[in-house]
A and B are shown apart, each in its own frame.
Chain A
Amino acid sequence: MDMNYLELLKLASPEAIVVATALAVLAVGLTSKNAPVLCSTVGVLGLILAAAEVFMLPFNATLFHGMLVISPLASLFKVICLTLAFFTVILARSDRSSRHHGEYLALLLLATIGLMLLVGSEELLMIFIGLELTGLALYVMTAFDKTDIRSAEAGLKYFLFGSTASAFTLFGLSLVYGMCATTGLAAIAQKLVAQPLSPLLAAGIVMTLIGFAFKIAAAPFHLWAPDAYQGAPVSSAAFIASGSKVASFVVLGKIVLVGFGPAHGSAAWHAMVAGWMPVLAVLAALSIVLGNLVALAQSNVRRLLAYSAVAHAGYTLLGLVAGGREGFSATLFYTTVYAFTLVGAFGVVALVRRETGGDDFVNFSALWSRSPLLAGCMAIFMLSLAGLPPLAGFFGKFYLFSAAMRAGENHGLLWLVALALFGSLISLYYYLIILKVIFSEPALSEVERGHQNLEHPGQPRGRLREGGDFLQRTTVAVLAIAVLFFGILPGALLARIIAALP
């Protein structure tokens, strides 16, 4: 094959721009006095430039047997990942751990490159490299708050489990490679058509999936999530919950639907056939049950969001279990909407944390009287997560569940749909608890809040309005409006996703 590096640079220009931005941010952070503001500005500009560059690319292109693929789907999700990174950069400005803001943003941008490689590749090795690049950057971002021991703990746990999961995935990939003698997804599918599902292949497939189950925090591979969501700096948690998740679902969908397509098996009730579908169905069921039940018992907003994230990973898997274009589009729509909702919710958490020094339920009490805007936005995010119309979460769930309902013969997935609906019924309860705290609990007295501060030494109480606050409030409001908008006009996004699917 003709290797033209100029061609490569042209097709990988969005990634290249983000790399350059990362380096620039790093340099600015080292040299400038007014580092945080300047770093953020450079980062934001770089992301916007990269997104614009994505639009300039040709419509379809494939390089090196699928290592770098440019397709409508890849471009759409590159833009979505860049947008999520954009919001995260803005959120990151409210973090106190901004002594090394340049380094932090550089890591964030590196993670973004990983995400872009993930969505823009149809080749196992490249996907693995993308996974690792994202993972390594996120581990450091999780442990970035050097003043908080929980941050270090969360980073360590995330790292240990992440590397274990990566090891399994790599092992699985090597088994698959051994059976198929190729690493391109399309080529694997061709080989699999002719092969029965041997135990070795099955083991390879399952182990490959584990790395992704870990990334999307599906039970029982979710154990890192509560710590990471709670302990990490808020913006890191937001990015782990949004960007990393979206990209993981895109690539997981590509792997199972394109690569392992022929070995799908069946997850229908009483008619299970071995393959990846029953595996994902089991993961989904476990996540829905476990996530929702444990979330009921939480008293910290971030921890609660972590367990609810486990449950949402379960719902989102439903689309992949359903398979086909319809199922995949449902998964992609849901995960995208979910990502935007969570970035918004974490934005509220960041502002509340900055104001009160914590993110337990008590810190949210009577938020309504302190900041109606944040309270209203949080209500939108929570109700959307609970799946109430007319918010985006409702339509996402409706489309997802109906896709699963229609898949297979005789409504074989009804058991999973009923379970998911039951799960979302339970979830309403804990989201309502948050809202109840926000809207009706009496505010903490100054004394109590001071006491609260003593329990979190080293976390000075920020004032309500500081520089940069306006930007974050606007971001949160924009995200809330987006959640409402995609609920009322879901076609705006969904039609795009469906059109982008091959």
Chain B
Amino acid sequence: MSSALPWSILLLPLASAVVILLFTLRSGRVSSFTSVLAALAAFLCSWALFTSENTRAIELTWIDLRPLLYVPLGFVIDGLSKTMLLVVTGVGALIHVYSLGYMRNDAGKSRYFASLSLFMFSMVGIVLSNNFVMMFIFWELVGVSSYLLIGHWFERDAAAEAAKKAFLTNRIGDFGFMIGILMIWSATGSVVFREIAMQMPQIIAHPGFLTIAALLVFCGAAGKSAQFPLHVWLPDAMEGPTPISALIHAATMVAAGVYMLVRVGFLVQSSPAALGVIVWIGTITAVMAALIATQQSDIKRILAYSTLSQLGYMVMAVGLASGEAAMFHLFTHAFFKALLFLGAGAIIIMLHHEQNIWNMGGLAGKLRVTFLTFLVGTLALIGCPPFSGFWSKDAILALAYTRSMPIFVLGLFTAFLTAFYMTRLLVVVFLGKPRTDAARSGREAPIVMTVPLLLLAIPAFLAGFSFVATRFLPLPQEKEAVALVPVLATLAMIAGVTLGVVLYRNREREPLNIALLRKRFFFDEFYTWLIGVTQGTLARLSDFFDHWIIDAGAVRGLSSATWGIGALLRLFQVGNLQAYSFLFGLGIVGLIYFTIFR
């Protein structure tokens, strides 16, 4: 019986999505309860799976074209996937409940919950896949459902644009991912992780090939986990509803890249060159995003950049060849970041969609539960001992300390920045005096929203203690325990908090103004420019085509039927047809020349 559990976890959300799409699209109420029930049931199944000793699932054959290609419909069920399932369905279920409150009056409620269920289905699929093809398919499905959810309010231009940007940026990463998969498959003849792992010795014999393949696979992770230079989509994705930001863009989807890298750790870790690139990409992302976060004024964007920065930490850990440390931080981060986002969501909705932190202030007394839980999340994020983030960040920093000093210093600097920008956020939003009428009239959020906050605050506090964490995942073993690292990290944290309090206490406006950071290192401008230039060139090129050969005939033909004969006759005389024939002939001559003379 228990071998059917993984299937039910996977199929429950899908069933919910299908039911909503086919039957209950009209009734937002029924749809939302269907979806929430499916999510809760999936969580219970995950818990049952987690506590069972089961490591097998029914495996079906999907595509059997042996010896050419064999793709099973199979699951990998081990400690890693069980824990990840728990995080995905657990956080997911809470966010489903929270959405009941947040999306209460939304016109597209059914659509929202259908997409949410679809997302859960695809995400569970990524976690469970035991081969590259299945994973890639769910990978793309996650992209699609994320596209639907970011663009939920598609009548807002910004949301529609953000959805498109996220989708296309992800596809750039997937472009590399796909080539990587094909390379690995062509080298080993298999797409199943276990079989590839067994054939690794053959690939290791070709280090150049291995490095390229590993880096291409990393491309996919960089897209999904929003690593530099593909990070630009994540902050824009905050245009979606806040529960989505919490679920997809903080706790689960963006972690999929890290999860995938850990899953194929056997591949990545056998190439030192690839690891070198990965660790630096992670570090750059961590520092850069933390720097940008210090100068943003939209509460969700601050959290988005903070997510980027923390993902940078995880990727850094992957690059330091420690999947355990990466998963540990992923595990704690999922809870406290979801908590922070949901807290931000409560503030935003209670202040009637106000997101600018400078229009808030003094909310600590009014939104008491929100404030306290937000505080727990913040302490966990900045790594204040003994909150969960302290332990997992410490594990990564200790690793960096033993492997590479520059990485460690940058990691420490990021920890300092994290403490600084989170203190700034906390002080500006919750302390001081209310700065607007909206802030003055703020009330506590309804109970469906505060209960998930409270429930998330517990793991945000506890998840880091080794007696809790070891139940869920293997912790990285530090060979030589370095006492210096936690001390330095705590000092950096205290420095950050102090600076934040000193700078921002009782301020009405932003005291610092660093354009470079406020404008996010001009990445968007740069990409816009780049796309503009390429598109301009392409447009000119196709314009040339259109004018020279294509348009002439079509436009003339359009005008009217009386022109008919004239236009037809002219086709023989005017450039159009000759140009066609000329190209045709040129093509033939070119091909023959190419074949015979080169």
Cβ-based interface call for B483 (8 A): no
The stretch that binds A, out of B172-180, B312-320, B409-417, B503-511, is B172-180
Contact A152 B564 (CB under 8 A): yes
Cβ-based interface call for B558 (8 A): yes
Residues of A within 8 A of B133 (CB): 398
Chain B residues with a Cβ closer than 8 Å to the other chain, count: 61
Contact B186 A406 (CB under 8 A): yes
Contact A389 B136 (CB under 8 A): yes
Cα(A161)–Cα(B52), bound, Å? 69
- A160 touching B577 in the complex, CB below 8 Å, given contacts A294-B545, A439-B154: yes
Cβ-based interface call for A66 (8 A): no
The stretch that binds A, out of B34-42, B385-393, B588-596, is B588-596
What sequence of 0s and 1s flags, for each residue 220-246 of chain A, a beta carbon within 8 Å of any chain B beta carbon?
110110110011000000000000000
Cβ-based interface call for B160 (8 A): yes
| A389 contact from B68, B141, B171, B557, Cβ within 8 A | B141
Interface hub of B133, B141, B168, B588 (most chain A Cβ within 10 A)? B588
Cβ-based interface call for B560 (8 A): yes
| A293 contact from B538, B563, B568, B594, Cβ within 8 A | B538
Interface size class of A (residues with CB under 8 A): 35 or more
Cβ-based interface call for B514 (8 A): no
- Tell me if A's interface is mostly helix, strand, loop or mixed: helix
| B558 contact from A150, A207, A272, A417, Cβ within 8 A | A150
Residues of A within 8 A of B571 (CB): 153, 156-157
Cβ-based interface call for A3 (8 A): no
What sequence of 0s and 1s flags, for each residue 274-294 of chain A, a beta carbon within 8 Å of any chain B beta carbon?
110011001100000000011
- A220 touching B584 in the complex, CB below 8 Å, given contacts A296-B538, A401-B182, A421-B178: yes
Cβ-based interface call for A461 (8 A): no
Contact A279 B594 (CB under 8 A): yes
Residues of B within 8 A of A149 (CB): 557-558, 560-561, 563-564, 567-568
The stretch that binds A, out of B277-285, B455-463, B546-554, is B546-554
Cβ-based interface call for B575 (8 A): no
Contact B68 A326 (CB under 8 A): yes
| B167 contact from A220, A279, A432, Cβ within 8 A | A432
Contact B568 A152 (CB under 8 A): yes
Contact B175 A422 (CB under 8 A): yes
Residues of B within 8 A of A428 (CB): 167-168, 171
Residues of chain B in range 232-279 having any CB-CB distance to chain A below 8 Å: none
Cβ-based interface call for A41 (8 A): no
Residues of chain B in range 37-93 having any CB-CB distance to chain A below 8 Å: 62-65, 68-69
Cβ-based interface call for A203 (8 A): yes
Residues of chain B in range 94-115 having any CB-CB distance to chain A below 8 Å: none
Cβ-based interface call for B202 (8 A): no
Contact B154 A440 (CB under 8 A): yes
Contact B561 A425 (CB under 8 A): no
Q: A156-B571, A210-B591, A440-B154 are in contact. List 17 more A-B contacts (CB 8 A).
A: A147-B561, A157-B580, A161-B580, A168-B588, A206-B592, A223-B580, A227-B554, A274-B595, A297-B539, A389-B136, A389-B140, A405-B182, A411-B183, A414-B183, A421-B179, A432-B167, A490-B63
Show the binding face of A for B, using Cβ within 8 Å.
147, 149-150, 152-153, 156-157, 160-161, 164-165, 168, 199, 202-203, 205-207, 209-210, 220-221, 223-224, 226-227, 230-231, 272, 274-275, 278-279, 282-283, 293-294, 296-297, 326, 388-390, 394-395, 398-399, 401-402, 405-406, 411, 414, 417-418, 421-422, 425, 428-429, 432, 436, 439-440, 455, 457-458, 489-491, 494-495, 498
A-B contact pairs, 26 of them (CB 8 A): A149-B560, A153-B553, A153-B557, A156-B571, A157-B553, A168-B588, A199-B596, A206-B595, A207-B588, A279-B595, A282-B591, A296-B542, A395-B63, A401-B178, A402-B185, A421-B175, A421-B178, A422-B175, A425-B172, A428-B171, A432-B168, A436-B160, A457-B561, A458-B561, A491-B62, A494-B65
